Structures are given as structure tokens and as C-alpha cells.
Amino acid sequence: MNLIHSRPPHVRSHESNFSVMGDMVISLVPLYLMAYFFYGSRTLVLGAVSVITYTVLDFLCTFLSSRRVGILDLSPVVTGLLIPLMLPASIGFTPVIAADLFAIGVIKQPFGGLGQNIFNPAAGGVAFAVLTWSDSVFRYPVPIESLGNAAARLVSSPAASLRLGATPNYPFTDIFLGIYPGPMGGTGVLILLACFGYLVIRKTISWRPTAAFLGTAALAAFCFPRITTGRFQSVLYELTSGLLLFGAIFLINDPATSPKSQTTRTIYAAIAGVVAMIFRYLGAYEEGLVFAILLMNAFSLFIDMRYEKIRHRERRALYAEQQTETV
Amino acid sequence: MPDFSNRLLARFAGQRFSYRWYSDIQLARQGIVLEQNKEPALSGGIQRICSRTLDHVPIDDLQEGDDIVTIARKAGIIDENTGRPLYLLLDRARNSGCRIIIADALDDEPYISSQLAPALEMTDQLVRGIELAKEAVGAESARIEIYKELGDSPVTIGENLGGVPVDRVGAGYPADNSLIQKHREEKASVFGACALIHLARAVDEKIAQTTVFVTVAGDGVTTSANLEVSIDKTAGELLRQFGLSDETSRVVIGGSMRGVTITDLDSTRVTAQTRGILAMREVFKDYNYTCIGCGKCDDVCPVGLSPYYLYKFVQAGRYSMLEDFDIDLCIGCGTCSYVCPAKLKIASEITRGKMELVQYMNAKKEKEQNEEVRA
């Protein structure tokens, strides 16, 4: 019997980095299946290429910077899966690989790798693709129609029509099931909400930041509609078009780049909702969500520090008498 | 804003319902629910393992007309929660105008049931002890506090034990932290259930405290049990009696959340503060995980600190920030380490930071004084 010393606590929860990231992977796989159903097997190849590129680059950079190469905790897989889902199914392999390279080489590893990065790698990679290949990033294939057809016609998404002040005309069931042009993973409302429900039940993410983000975005869409057919139509199309719903679930709740406590994360998400809508209304592109996320990431430490000042005052007021009593 | 939340807290602290919905502007939180693992010790009763010399030792210099506090002092009774002599606690409660006596049988840590089991098994003595404490302190009423979460235990506890009402504390771990505010408002004094049992014995049977109640548990022993042992027993002796496995990697004195590990089994004796002896097989091997910044530790801290930032500042050695983040309020409950998915040693790092901060402050003060002298 060989007894060792260890620090308390002597029991730990069953949750680990692996299980947290595994939950994210599990919630992203249905989106790929949906994309496969809508656009064919090319989407799966895109996903696989992105995951392999990102994982290999991540390991290489960690190894080259002589940091500990931990066991595979699936975090590169999550980002690798996220990047193609934010791009159209017709996107070439070059933009995806370039986005992976940018995310690793500029956004993630220079700051110290996993958990240390200031900006969201997936959002950063996609932002790079948007700026570099802006003509092909915002042209989408039509779901089901383009199945197996390499030279399918590309159309603009509802987000583009909203930008022109025109009401997109899709039946409600189509919007619910995601049968309208848009990013690979961003369209299926039903499937996205199911993924969200899974993550909330598993307690991997909290529902509050997502609700705050969608709430303020909906409020902005309700108060300042871009279309003339009604405020509720405006809310419906603004929330379901583009990446808004996808970002509210997978980008806002990114652990490393958002503020740390529930309250600050919710405040951050609420502001991000407004900023995303401002990017849509005034920005150069039809979808500015990734830029809004990147902008807000820069403020997350600031929000945490301000909140900590408030909590510091409260804690001092609360525990002052308690301490004098025990002394 | 601080006024408002303080009032909110004063109103709701320690109440039964969960107020997580209030967001976390409130500071004292309900804590987390842990796996209890109290069986089969809790329902198995109490075994008595005593040396002959330390069994029923009479109190030496007992005189006629000694009051209860004096008897408690002469019997050498130690409160098992705080580690302080019981007579000091009684004295302080009497002087501060205590109105309610609370017998603490919480046992909120997993595995441990060394307060609850005696309270259930020796209810008569506990009730007698509570009455004596009431008499000594001049309190009006009394109650027994137990923990609501008993896991899969078949033990059922009624509304009262021997006529004393039972309060089920519904909070998670750490339960005592969320009760402090409530106790202060009620002018209640908390005494350990075991200390009260020893008080009843000292007054009625005139014997000194020579035994303590401990739980022997963990996956390194074949069965878990609650024991009443004399204070000359060593941890190794007790563990071997319950089939200590060769695969045991750690032996913990105290609870599984706050206890300390020992390596020399045969020279570690039980003390009045020893609540449990745990033998654990599992080795927390180095997972090589890094912090992903999920902020789960921030969400569970029962005093409303930010363990994430404290951990980062301790690692970076930024002592000036530690003060702003109230490192001194940390109660060392270990909840942050428990929930951490990266299995980081957050709690022990913060404790280290606390000590280093004191050294840093002392060095700074000394330096300033030296400069003043020179000037």
C-alpha cells in the first residue's frame, strides 16, 4: 500500500473537459446530418476536412510552442466543426482551410492556446473568410433542389432581401424546418432549438445568455423593422435568417471568450444582440454577427471587472459585520 | 443597489426554496448537491471500540454544586465542529443572550454521518444534552438541524426527535455557510450534536469525554460504519478493522471535501475534531487539462467570489489584485475544485495565494517602516 498526499477536495464531479466538449460535438453532429440531407455529402467532406486541418494545426502549434500537449480534449474538433457550418454549402475548400489557418495562427495560438484566446477562433476564421471571399460567402445553394448537383444555381439569402427592404416569402413550416437558403448550419430552427435544449439539459451551457441575445435582437427588429409588412414578420425573418440563431447558441456561450459569471455573460449577450443588429442594419455585409461577436469579445474582461467592483462593494458590506462578530 | 441586495439576503438567506432565479446578484448561494454515499454507515448503527483504560473515566475534581458550564469544563468536552472547548461556547452563548439552542447534526459532506448517526441512535442523551445546554445558557427553545439530502439512505427522520423539533436544511454543500446569517438573526447558538451527548453523560453519569464519534468509509475499506472510539485509537487500527484494501491510495482525516490526507497511519490518532476517516482508491492522475474558462467555479462559489480570476491571479502572482477580489473571504469549501471540468486544484491554489498574500503584505509593511525610519 503506497499512500500519497493530495489536496482537498478528495471527490470530484464526473464532468471533465472531455465531456463538456463532447457534448458540443454531439450537439453539432445533427446539424451536419441536416446539412447532408439538404445539400448532399459534400457538406460532410467539408466538415471532415475542416476538423482534420484544425486539429492537426492545433497540435502542431502546441507542440512547437513547447507547451504541454494534453490528451485530446475535443476542443479543436468543436471549432473545426463550427467553421464550415457558418459558411454556405457551396463554399470551396480553400476558404474553409484558410479560415482554419487564420483561426489557429492569428486568433488562438498566439495568445496561448486553449482557454487563453481573447477572440473566438471560429468567429475570427469566418470573419476572415467573409472579408476575403465576400462574393462567394453570401451566395447560397437552394436546399434539396441543389442535392447532388455540382453546378446548382446560387441565390441570396433572406438576410440579403431584408437588407434591401423586401420581405422574404417562405412558408412558416419551411422556416421552421430550415428549407430556405442560408449558411449550412444556420437555417434549421427546429434542429437548432433541439441542440440548444440538449446542451441546456446537460448543463453544458446556460439558457440565459442565449435568451438575452435573442431577446435584444428581437426587440431591435421589432422597434426598427426594415420591412414594411409588419413588426412580427420583421422579428421572425431577422431571427431566422443568417447566423443569428446559430451564433446565439454556439458563439455567445463559448467558454473561453465570454465573461465568466452568469450575470456578466447575460449582460454581454444582451449587448451583443444589439451590436449584431447594428452590424446588420449599417454594416457593409448582410450578416455581421461574427464581427459583433469579435467586437464584444474585446469587452468581456472589462464587463467582468466592472461587475467584480460592484460585487466587491456588496461582499464587503455583507461580510463586515459577520467578520467582526467571529473575531 | 448593495442595500437592496443585502435586504434581500437578510430575508432569504437560509430559506428552503431555491432562489437561483434571482440571478447571482445575491451572494450567499445555496451550494451544490453532492453524491452522499452515506450508506451503509448511517443505517448500520454505532459500534463501540474502546480501550479499557479509557472507558467510562470519571471526572476527577467534581464538586457538589458545580454548574453545567463548570462540569463541561472539567469533563473536557470539545465541540466537534469548531474544535473549541464546549464550556467556552456555552459561556459565550450565555453572555450574548442566546435564545435558541441548535444541535448541529448536519453532516453535509459525502460519506460522513458521525453526527447524524449518534443523534438517531442516542436520541435520549442528545435531548438531555440539549435541555442541559438550554438550562446553562438560558435559552427559550431548541431544535436539531439535519441535512435534507440523504442520498439513497433508507433512514427516515420524523418531524421531531424525542420531542425536539427537527429542521431539515435544504441547502446544498456547504450548508453551514448559508445558515450563518439566519442563526445570527435568530440569536441562535450552534453546538455539535456529539458534544451535547457528551455533556449529558458528563452531568448524569459523571464521566469525562474520552470517546469520539467517527465514520470509517470510502472505497478502500470493505464496509463503512459509524464508531464510537476512545481517543487512543489510531487511524490505521480502525481502518484495518474494516478491511483496509491494499489498493488504497489516499487516507483522509475529516470530510471528503475539506479533510487532509495522512500517510503515516499508525501514528495518527483520532481527536475530538475527527469526524471521519476515509480510505480512497481513486488516484486523480494528472489529466493534463487546461482551464477552458467555462466559469462554472464562478457560478457555484457560496460566498460569491470569482475563483476563476483568483486562480489566475494567484498563478500570475498579482497580489494587489487578490485583495480587490476579496481572497480573504474564501472559506475553503472546495466547491470550485469539485465542479471544475479541467480538474484544476483551484481551492488549494487560492488557499496558497491567501498565505502568500499575508507574507507579501507583511514584507511590504516592513519595507515601508524601514523607509520611514531611514527618512
Quick: pLDDT tens for B183-199: 888 889 999 999 999 99
Q: Looking at the predicted structure, is the pLDDT value of residue B26 above 70?
A: no
Q: How many residues does chain B have?
A: 375
Q: What grid cell was written down for A80?
A: 473545426
Nearest-CA neighbor of B99 among B75, B134, B65, B72? Answer: B134
> In the prediction, which pLDDT does B285 show?
64
Q: Is the pTM of this model over 0.90?
A: no
Q: Do A7 and B345 touch (CB under 8 A)?
A: yes
> In the prediction, which pLDDT does B2 show?
42
All structural domains of chain A with their residue ranges: 17-312
> In the prediction, which pLDDT does A1 show?
78
Task: Please say whether the beta carbons of A127 and A153 come within 8 A.
Answer: no
- Write out residues in chain A with pLDDT < 50, as ranges: 327
In this structure, is the dihedral angle defined by the CA atoms of residues A201, A203, A205 and A209, taken in order, positive or negative? Answer: positive
Q: Give dist(CA A286, CA A272) in Å, integer.
A: 17
Residues 98-127 of A with CB under 8 A from B: 113-115
Is A11's Cβ below 8 Å from some Cβ in B? yes
CA angle A257, A260, A262 (to 5 degrees): 120
Q: Do A9 and B258 touch (CB under 8 A)?
A: yes
All structural domains of chain B with their residue ranges: 2-17+57-204, 211-280, 296-374
Nearest chain B alpha carbon to A265 = B295
pLDDT band at B34 (very low <50, low <70, confident <90, very high): confident
Nearest to A8 among B265, B294, B347 (CB): B347
Q: Do B338 and A12 touch (CB under 8 A)?
A: yes
Contacts of B263 in chain A (CB under 8 A): 3-5
Grid cell 439558457 — which residue?
A: A207
Q: Looking at the predicted structure, is the pLDDT value of residue B286 above 80?
A: no
> In the prediction, which pLDDT does A208 show?
92
- Percent of chain B scored above 90 by pLDDT? 37
Q: Looking at the predicted structure, is the pLDDT value of residue B15 above 80?
A: no
In this structure, is the dihedral angle defined by the CA atoms of residues A130, A131, A132 and A138, taken in order, positive or negative? Answer: positive
CATH architecture of B2-17+57-204: 3-Layer(aba) Sandwich (3.40)
What phi and psi, each to the nearest 5 degrees, are found at residue B345?
Answer: -90, 65
Is A314's Cβ below 8 Å from some Cβ in B? yes
> In the prediction, which pLDDT does B343 show?
87
Is A318's Cβ below 8 Å from some Cβ in B? yes
> In the prediction, which pLDDT does B24 show?
41
Quick: pLDDT tens for B93-136: 999 888 999 999 888 888 899 999 999 999 999 999 999 999 99
Is A14's Cβ below 8 Å from some Cβ in B? no
Nearest to B324 among A7, A259, A312 (CB): A312
Q: Looking at the predicted structure, is the pLDDT value of residue B170 above 80?
A: no
Contacts of A19 in chain B (CB under 8 A): 341
> In the prediction, which pLDDT does A47 show?
95
> In the prediction, which pLDDT does B55 show?
84
CA distance B81 to chain A (A): 15
Nearest to B263 among A3, A17, A318 (CB): A3
Q: How far is CA A225 from the centre of its chain?
A: 25
Quick: pLDDT tens for B201-258: 999 999 999 999 999 998 889 989 999 999 989 999 999 999 898 888 889 998 888 8
Provide ipTM, 2 decimals: 0.91
Contacts of B287 in chain A (CB under 8 A): 16-17, 70-71
pLDDT band at B58 (very low <50, low <70, confident <90, very high): confident
Q: What grid cell was written down for B12?
A: 432569504
Q: Do B261 and A1 touch (CB under 8 A)?
A: no
Grid cell 504541454 — which residue?
A: A68
CA distance A228 to chain B (A): 38
Q: Give dist(CA B3, CA A26) in Å, integer.
A: 45
> In the prediction, which pLDDT does B129 show?
94
> In the prediction, which pLDDT does B18 show?
34
Q: Do A4 and B6 touch (CB under 8 A)?
A: no
How does the average pLDDT of chain B come out, rounded?
85
pLDDT band at B25 (very low <50, low <70, confident <90, very high): very low
Nearest-CA neighbor of B26 among A313, A314, A213? Answer: A314
> In the prediction, which pLDDT does B256 show?
87
Question: Residues 6 or more apart from A161 whose CB is under 8 A from it?
Answer: A167, A168
pLDDT band at B180 (very low <50, low <70, confident <90, very high): confident
Q: Do B256 and A11 touch (CB under 8 A)?
A: yes
Looking at the domain that runs over B211-280, which CATH code has it been given? 3.10.20.600
Q: Do B261 and A5 touch (CB under 8 A)?
A: yes
Q: Give dist(CA B18, CA B169) in Å, integer.
A: 12
pLDDT band at B35 (very low <50, low <70, confident <90, very high): confident
Contacts of B6 in chain A (CB under 8 A): 314, 317-318
Quick: pLDDT tens for B133-149: 999 998 989 999 988 87
Segment B258-278 mean pLDDT: 90
CA dihedral A22, A27, A32, A33 (to 10 degrees): 110
Catalogue the long-range contacts made by A163-171 (C-beta closer than 8 Å, 24 or more residues apart).
A163/A226, A163/A280, A163/A286, A165/A226, A165/A227, A165/A228, A166/A227, A167/A227, A167/A228, A167/A229, A167/A233, A167/A237, A168/A237, A168/A241
CA angle A284, A288, A290 (to 5 degrees): 135
> In the prediction, which pLDDT does B62 show?
82
Q: Do B329 and A315 touch (CB under 8 A)?
A: yes
What phi and psi, each to the nearest 5 degrees, are found at residue A39?
Answer: -120, -5
The one-letter amino acid code at B274 reads T
> In the prediction, which pLDDT does B302 show?
84
Nearest chain B alpha carbon to A5 = B261
Segment B294-321 mean pLDDT: 89
Whole-number Cα distances in Å, B60 to B57, B125, B132, B207: 9, 22, 21, 9
Whole-number Cα distances in Å, A139 to A38, A96, A157, A242, A286: 16, 15, 7, 12, 11
Q: Do A260 and B295 touch (CB under 8 A)?
A: yes
Residues 202-231 of A with CB under 8 A from B: none
> In the prediction, which pLDDT does B10 show?
44
Q: Looking at the predicted structure, is the pLDDT value of residue B7 above 50?
A: no
Residues 285-304 of A with CB under 8 A from B: 304
pLDDT band at B16 (very low <50, low <70, confident <90, very high): very low
